[in-house]
Structures are given as structure tokens and as C-alpha cells.
Amino acid sequence: MKYAACIEYDGSAFMGWQFLKHGVSVQAAVEAAISRVANHPVKVICAGRTDTGVHGIGQIIHFESEAPRSLHSWKLGINSNLPDTVTLRWVQEIDDSFHARFSAGARRYRYIVLNRDTRPAVLFNRVSWYRNPLDHEAMHEAAQHLMGRQDFTSLRAAGCQAKHAVRELLDISVTREADMIYLDVKANAFLYHMVRNIAGTLFLVGEGKQPTSWIPELMAQKNRRFAGATAPAGGLYFVHVDYPAEFGLPTEYHLPRLAV
């Protein structure tokens, strides 16, 4: 039997999603919990691997087991065996053709920036922090130049192992609520550090160091060193994954909003 499930986690407690021999990973915690309930070793596949410090609200996984467990038993048992920093939000049976990664049509991230002159305390590791004033409207205008299918080499981290840098950005916006700036990005797939590099690049526009018209020029250069610095991991949230309706997975999701 194949199952799909949604995982939420506090990324500051882990060295990323992927299993590591030398550190604590979300994948290892999830596999250990499921394996204990199934009473046999279980491997999971995720929709998108997240880096050290990146949070997950709507990470989707799939796993297989022939253990005779109800959905309620899976959910209750798995959550009872997960650390406090990880929770399984839902689980359901899924068609054998489903693949958490390859069946995904699009992924959505939210990047949260606390924009004030003093650093966060209560929200430490939950938000990014930028002390200089940022013009979110200019950032939003500049971000629209990233829409569509493009070569994102200029926003690709050096350690990226993807075969190519072409991705399709389906939606991007920058909004503000009091001292919080929200960058929302949806794409068919993302490169290593792509969202954080987008954020760091838009900071230059928001601070007035680059005009909104600079983005097309940057993208045409196809050179990472001309873009902004990689923004910190703590402000990034993996929010949602779109799948074809035929799989019957939940389509509702919520965007994290923080305030101090």
C-alpha cells in the first residue's frame, strides 16, 4: 500500500531534510517514526529537499507499507514517535502511480523578513532580519521580471547539482504588514538556494542600491557574482505543493504570518 502524507517541521532543529550520517535530519526522524509504527524499515520520498534551517509547513512525502494500520493509527502513531519539532499533519492512501517529487506540478515558498533596526529575539530563527529600510513596492515591481520560463543561472548557488538552470516562475509577490515583509514564490521547481538568492537580490532593490529595471540585465549576465548575497535560511518556509487533481490530495494551505 502506498501512502501520501504532509509533514511540518522546525528547520532550525535540523541540518536539512535529507538523511545525513554526520547530523540530524528531518528525513531520518520521519523514517524512524514511520518504521516504528509499521514494525519494519520504511523509506520516504519528499517533494523537495530543504536546507539547514529552512522550515516546512507543507512538505509532502510518500511511503509504502503493507502493515495493517488505519489512517488514524498511522497519524497518531507516527506523531507519537516524532520529536516535538516535527509533526505529521495528514496521511492518506494514494494511487501507486503517485510520486511525491515527480508528480508535483509546482512548489510554493514564503520568505519572511523582519525589517526594522533591531534584531529579532522571540522570532530568532523564524524570520530573516534586515536592519535598513526596504521599499517592498520596488521589490515587488522588480520581482515581476523573474516571471515565466527563464535561465536562473544568476540566482543559482555554486553547489547546485541540477542539470540546468532553466525554471518556470509561476507567481511571485512582495507584500508588507507592519515590520514584516513577505516574499511569496511559486515555480515548477527550484534550484539550490534559489529563493534565498532571489530575496538577497531584491534586498538591493529595496534598499535603493539597484533600480527595478536591473533584474533583466542581471538575468542576462548569467553570472551569480553579480546578484545579491544569499539571504539567511531562518526566514524560508516550504509552504505547499500542487499535484494533479486525479490524486485527490488536499489543495488548501496556509501562509505563515508572524508579528512581534
Residues designated catalytic: 51
Q: Which of 167, 126, 170, 131 has its CA nearest to residue 147? A: 170
End-to-end alpha-carbon separation of the chain, Å?
Answer: 45
- Which residues are within 8 A (CB) of 209 and not within 5 positions of it... i.e. 6 or more apart? none
Please name the residues in contact with 58: beta carbons below 8 A apart, sequence gap of 6 or more: 6, 8, 108, 238, 239, 240, 241, 253
Rounded Cα distance, 45 and 109, in Å: 19
Q: Tell me 231's DSSP state.
A: P
Rounded Cα distance, 119 and 134, in Å: 15
Please answer whether residues 19 and 30 qualify as being in contact, where contact means their C-beta atoms are separated by less than 8 angstroms: no
Q: Angle, nearest 10°, between helix axes 214-221 and 136-143?
A: 50
51 CB-side CA count, 13 A: 18
Q: 162 to each of 50, 143, 159, 191, 197, how far by Cα in Å?
A: 15, 23, 9, 7, 16
